[in-house]
Amino acid sequence: MQRIGVFVCHCGSNIAATVDVKKVAEMARLEPGVVFADDYQYMCSEAGQAKIGAAIKEYNLTGLVVCSCSPRMHEATFRKCAERYGLNPYMVEIANIREHCSWIHKDMEEATQKAVILARAAIAKVNLNAPLQAGESRVTKRALVIGGGIAGIQTALDIADAGYEVDIVEKTPSIGGRMSQLDKTFPTLDCSACILTPKMVDAAGHEKIKIYTYSEVEKVSGFVGDFTVDIRKKARSVDEAKCTGCGVCQEKCPSKKTPSEFNRGLNNRSAIYTPFAQAIPNVPVIDREACIKFKTGKCGVCEKVCQAGAINYAQEDEIITEKYGAIVVATGFDTIKLDKYDEYAYSQSKDVITSLELERIMNAAGPTKGHLERLSDGKAPKEIVFVQCVGSRCSDERGKPYCSKICCMYTAKHAMLIRDKYPDVNVTVFYIDVRTPGKNFDEFYRRAVEEYGVNYIKGQVGKVAPQPDGSLLVQGSDLIDNKQIKIKADMVVLATAIEPNQGVRNIATMLTASIDTNNFLTEAHPKLRPVESPTAGVFLSGVCQGPKDIPETVSQAGAAAVKVIGLLAKDKLTTNPCTAQADELLCNGCSNCAKVCPYGAITYETRQVNDHGIREDRRIAVVNKALCQGCGACTVTCPSGAMDLQGFSNRQLIAEVDAICR
Amino acid sequence: MSVNQEFRPKIVAFCCNWCSYAGADLAGSSRLSYPADVKIIRVPCSCRVNPMFILRAFEKGADGVILCGCHPGDCHYSTGNYYARRRMTLLFSMLDFMGVENGRTRVEWVSAAEGVKFSTVMNDFVEKIRSLGENVRLGDLRCKK
Ligand SMILES: Cc1cc2nc3c(=O)[nH]c(=O)nc-3n(C[C@H](O)[C@H](O)[C@H](O)COP(=O)(O)OP(=O)(O)OC[C@H]3O[C@@H](n4cnc5c(N)ncnc54)[C@H](O)[C@@H]3O)c2cc1C
Ligand code: SF4
Ligand code: SF4
Ligand code: FES
């Protein structure tokens, strides 16, 4: 028989205000196995833990039930506490009477009754607990970063500087991400390439960093400390070792009609291309769908002009298999499609553009060489209207419910840059709210209004109508003066909502990391563990976790790196001892269990068993404790009831069911 | 159908540790209420739930049992919820045949970020069980003592 101590926490008033904690302790004393029950203000505090320790000694306790907050919060704390006072840490169970009780119920009597039942279930379980011993697993001292935007680059640099090897896998032909597409950056207006390129060069030159561009993660197996990853390195059709990056092939390539991804389709690129001048690596790829050689077998111009002999049409995709201890997701974002927003005439007029397209237009290396001009007729605009929150903070199905966070600031930036360079251009911004928290951010926005005379109007734009003369009639409301406004504009810029990059769902599935309803990756705890995913060994960096500007992205990237370094610095990890085990006498060697195990943890052995005096050789399931992750799939599949899961055994779970239904 | 508000059903909710239990925690920290009739049992994964546990609950007088796991494709162990889904489809149709109506059993996918969904699902499920009334079909006299 177990000797159980029950400890009911007040959690200040978080629990005690709705649950009669004394009553819970009193009722617990009546349960089988319970020899001691008490309540205390803060069970997790030093004093609370000392109380538990004293009770363990005084009452010779063999098991503990703590009625408190979620086990996801403090199970580890109380396990450590038990261990400190000489109890096996797995002799502790938590009754979650805060998140699952006091915080969601208002009626004291009802909540108390529920807390009593939850305590009862935990007591019933502990009665059947057995001491468990945690095992150890190794740590591969190398990290993988998926996505080579500023987030991925910064995380990789920080990990590498601490002395660990890092691989970056980037989907496109170059690292750099969205930041490489930006012209100037708020809140200082320095040139994006000037601050990004050195970091790209640092990453490429770092002895601990390996970069796979034009590559994607294809398969992930394993677990924290010991992931195995297949990387598909897509065929570039250019030999990276031979190419000198001279650029002659791109110049001579006759196929020049493919919309440039980098310039958001505002101009065209050749079939063999590097996305932008500072690309890293400075090695082009052949877009096989656009290449004449691949389509018709003729051409071959690039091969002829390449002095280095680097063109290789026969190159094939390569699969690289590598082991990693930690994985960081840094897959970033894209802007949403505007096909559901007909009222802004985006698809009807070339002069209605997104803010990201404006970045390319303002950029000296962009499609207009940095001249602000209308894409329809090349004329200089005199009247520009910015529309905020296009698809952000949207209550209907068309857009996103969240605030994209960066648009207020980049629009102030765009407005200011335009007024600075072209003082005769009128700039009007329609906004719902201007949100500019952040260091030097509100000052930045006020400069746009006060120094640069940008006309901010609180109100929404209802319609943008292209006129026969080529202008755009913008109809909006002014909520402060309560009137309708019409502006004849030459150009309309839409601050388009951002969303996680396509393919992130696939990545999340491979990593078994969870994503939210907006496809942003979920953090392990929204406040306390913002850069870790709930899946051990998987970390989050940059906009893939939620909208962010560059300063925030870089801070988060560093934080993710610290978590990775903390993990890689360990030589061994303790493993979860809640693993499966087959009862030799019940197992009939049917092989059902191995078929459902996702980790291949189950094998079969012939063993001599002594079944009630009869000795015979039998085929029996054996679980590899290092591989088993404790899901329990095998336990349900087993037709003989032989397979059971330690820590969540059939008897323990049935005891909980019984206690709840009693 | 008239709903008896006096009737307080016994409802067991099995929640996987990685998504749904965390979703329930989030419902809690966001103070999104649902009836106290729901009692949660934590399991490592939805695939840990043996049909026997559910039969046992009904035998012992549960009025409804709900199993919550990660969304398909998001299971922490990759495939656990697919097993759970197939097992429960079979079990629930057998239970229906035995007189435990389909409304008393349910599988829901709730992620760690879906506190709102968790509370909505539980409110809805309790409402449903209240409308069905007390479960008598599997109550076994020997089990109840
Ligand atoms: C119009 C506009 C203007 C902006 N102006 C500013 C500004 O002035 N100041 C400021 O601070 N911020 C600005 N921002 C925000 C800034 O762009 C972001 O904060 C920053 O780019 C986020 O970096 P990231 O690395 O998280 O994502 P990204 O830059 O999107 O990088 C993600 C990388 O991952 C790669 N990737 C995606 N999926 C995969 C996959 N499956 N496998 C491998 N690789 C993958 C992508 O190709 C990309 O290279 C602006 C944004 C916009 C849209
Ligand atoms: S509990 Fe899961 S991981 Fe462990 S042996 Fe069984 S099926 Fe495999
Ligand atoms: S399923 Fe059960 S009986 Fe069959 S091999 Fe596995 S443990 Fe043995
Ligand atoms: S871990 Fe949630 S369903 Fe498998």
Q: Which residues line ligand 3 (CB under 6 A)?
A: A 582, 587-593, 621, 637-638, 640, 642-643
Tell me, yes or no, whether B93 lies in a domain.
Answer: yes
How far, in Å, from the CA of A223 to the mean position of ligand 2?
14
Q: Nearest Cβ partner of B44 from A96, A111, A631?
A: A631
How far, in Å, from the CA of A63 to the mean position of ligand 3?
31
Q: What is the share, in percent, of chain A residues with pLDDT greater than 70?
A: 100
**CATH number of the domain bearing residue B73:** 3.40.50
pLDDT higher than threshold 90 for residue A625: no
How far apart are alpha carbons A62 and A172 in whole angstroms? Answer: 58
CB distance from B41 to chain A under 8 Å?
A: yes
pLDDT higher than threshold 90 for residue A515: no
Please state the CATH superfamily assignment of the domain spanning residues A142-176+189-227+320-332+517-525+536-568 in this structure.
FAD/NAD(P)-binding domain (3.50.50.60)
Can you give the pLDDT at residue B1?
44
Closest CA to B40 of A36, A23, A100: A100
Tell me, yes or no, whether B118 lies in a domain.
Answer: yes
Q: Cβ(A568)–Cβ(A139) under 8 Å? A: yes
Question: What is the average pLDDT score of chain A?
Answer: 96
Q: Nearest Cβ partner of A648 from B36, B44, B56?
A: B44
Q: Which residues contact A358 (CB under 8 A, 6 or more apart)?
A: A414, A493
Q: Which helix (H) or strand (E) holds A616?
A: strand A614-623
Tell me, yes or no, whether B22 lies in a domain.
Answer: yes
Q: Cβ(B105)–Cβ(B95) under 8 Å? A: yes
Tell me, yes or no, whether B3 lies in a domain.
Answer: no
What is the location of CATH 3.30.70.3270 in chain A?
A: 580-646
Can you give the pLDDT at residue A627?
80
How far apart are alpha carbons A505 and B74 in whole angstroms? Answer: 9
A356 Cβ closer than 6 Å to some ligand 1 atom: yes
How far, in Å, from the CA of B68 to the mean position of ligand 4?
8
Nearest listed ligand to the Cα of residue A592: 3
Nearest listed ligand to the Cα of residue A541: 1
Q: In the numeric block, which tokens belong to residue A472?
A: 């755009």
Helix, strand or coil, per DSSP, at residue A564: helix
The parent domain of residue B116 ranges over 11-139
What is the location of CATH 3.40.50 in chain A?
A: 4-126
Q: Which residues contact A656 (CB under 8 A, 6 or more apart)?
A: A121, A122, A124, A125, B41
Can you give the pLDDT at residue B2?
47
Tell me, yes or no, whether B5 lies in a domain.
Answer: no
> How much of chain A is helix, strand and coil, in % rounded to 5?
30, 25, 45
Per residue in A520-558, pLDDT (tens digit) is 998 887 777 899 987 889 999 999 999 999 999 999 999
Pairwise CB contact (< 8 Å): A657 & B75: no
pLDDT higher than threshold 50 for residue A482: yes
Pairwise CB contact (< 8 Å): B48 & A105: no
Please give the tally of structural domains in chain B. 1
Pairwise CB contact (< 8 Å): B12 & A629: no
Domain A4-126, CATH number (from 1.10.3470, 3.40.50, 3.30.70, 3.30.1890): 3.40.50
**Whose C-alpha lies nearest to ligand 1, atom 3?**
A410
User: In chain A, what residues touch B51 (CB-CB under 8 Å)?
Assistant: 636
Q: Which CATH architecture has domain A580-646?
A: 2-Layer Sandwich (3.30)
CB distance from B19 to chain A under 8 Å?
A: yes
Tell me, yes or no, whether B145 lies in a domain.
Answer: no
Q: What is the 3-state secondary structure of A440-457?
A: CHHHHHHHHHHCCCCEEE
pLDDT higher than threshold 90 for residue A108: yes
How far apart are alpha carbons A79 and A82 in whole angstroms? Answer: 5
How far apart are alpha carbons A536 and A326 in whole angstroms? Answer: 9
* Mean pLDDT confidence for A93-102: 97
Pairwise CB contact (< 8 Å): B39 & A121: yes
More confident residue, A657 or B136: A657
pLDDT band at A9 (very low <50, low <70, confident <90, very high): very high
pLDDT higher than threshold 50 for residue A211: yes
**Whose C-alpha lies nearest to ligand 1, atom 7?**
A185
- What are the beta bridge partners of residue B75? B78
pLDDT band at A355 (very low <50, low <70, confident <90, very high): very high
Q: Which residues line ligand 2 (CB under 6 A)?
A: A 579-580, 596-597, 599, 601-602, 623, 628-634, 645
State the pairing for strand pair A352-354/A491-496.
parallel
The one-character DSSP state at A477 is: E
Instruction: Look at the block and give the residue holding tokens 């400069």.
Output: A447
Pairwise CB contact (< 8 Å): A633 & B83: yes
The CA distance from A248 to the nearest CA of chain B, in Å, is 46
- Interaxial angle between packed helices A150-161 and A192-205, expressed in degrees from 0 to 180 and rounded to the nearest 10: 40
pLDDT string in tens for chain B (145-residue length): 445 557 899 999 999 999 999 999 999 999 999 999 999 999 999 999 999 999 999 999 999 999 999 998 788 888 899 999 999 999 999 999 988 999 999 999 999 999 999 999 999 999 999 999 999 877 665 555 5
Q: In the numeric block, which tokens belong to residue B22?
A: 């965390």
CA neighbours closer than 13 Å in the CB half-sphere of residue A628:
29
Q: Which residues contact A536 (CB under 8 A, 6 or more apart)?
A: A223, A224
Pairwise CB contact (< 8 Å): A99 & B44: no
Per residue in A182-206, pLDDT (tens digit) is 999 999 999 999 999 999 999 999 9
How far, in Å, from the CA of A120 to the mean position of ligand 2?
29
Interface mutation vs chain A, best among B26, B41, B81, B126, most A CBs within 10 Å: B41
* Mean pLDDT confidence for A40-45: 96
CB distance from B91 to chain A under 8 Å?
A: no
What is the location of CATH 3.50.50.60 in chain A?
A: 142-176+189-227+320-332+517-525+536-568, 333-499
Per residue in A575-624, pLDDT (tens digit) is 889 999 999 999 999 999 999 998 888 999 999 999 888 899 999 999 98
Per residue in A235-294, pLDDT (tens digit) is 999 999 999 999 999 999 999 999 999 999 999 999 999 999 999 999 999 999 999 999
Q: Nearest Cβ partner of B47 from A99, A113, A632?
A: A632
- Interaxial angle between packed helices A150-161 and A550-568, expressed in degrees from 0 to 180 and rounded to the nearest 10: 40
Cis peptide before A187 (omega within 30 of 0): yes
B15 Cβ closer than 6 Å to some ligand 4 atom: no
Pairwise CB contact (< 8 Å): A517 & B114: yes
Can you give the pLDDT at residue B55?
95
- What are the beta bridge partners of residue A9? A40
Tell me, yes or no, whether B28 lies in a domain.
Answer: yes
Q: Going by CATH, does the domain composed of A333-499 fall within 3.50.50.60?
A: yes
Nearest listed ligand to the Cα of residue B14: 4
Per residue in A310-347, pLDDT (tens digit) is 999 999 999 999 999 999 999 999 999 999 999 999 99
B75 Cβ closer than 6 Å to some ligand 4 atom: yes
* Mean pLDDT confidence for A60-68: 97
- What number does the ligand 4 atom closest to the CA of B44 have? 1
B45 Cβ closer than 6 Å to some ligand 4 atom: yes
Q: Cβ(B58)–Cβ(B11) under 8 Å? A: no
- Whether the model clears a pTM of 0.90, i.e. scores above it, the answer is no
Closest CA to A531 of A145, A228, A192: A145
- What number does the ligand 3 atom closest to the CA of A604 have? 5
State the pairing for strand pair A614-623/A602-611.
antiparallel
Nearest listed ligand to the Cα of residue A645: 2
- What number does the ligand 1 atom closest to the CA of A172 have? 47
Nearest listed ligand to the Cα of residue A557: 1
How far apart are alpha carbons A5 and A11 in whole angstroms? Answer: 18
Q: Nearest Cβ partner of A114 from B24, B36, B74?
A: B36
Can you give the pLDDT at residue A135?
85
Can you give the pLDDT at residue A379?
96
* DSSP output for A127-184: TT-------EEE--SEEEEE--SHHHHHHHHHHHHTT-EEEEE-SSSSS-GGGGG-SE
Q: Where are the alpha helices (DSSP H) in A346-400?
A: 355-362
Can you give the pLDDT at residue B141?
56
Tell me, yes or no, whether B54 lies in a domain.
Answer: yes
For residue B80, give the chain A residue with the closest CA: A633
Pairwise CB contact (< 8 Å): A633 & B77: yes
**Whose C-alpha lies nearest to ligand 3, atom 2?**
A638
Q: In the numeric block, which tokens belong to residue B12?
A: 């067991």
- What number does the ligand 2 atom closest to the CA of A633 have? 7
* Mean pLDDT confidence for A98-116: 97
The CA distance from B1 to the nearest CA of chain A, in Å, is 26
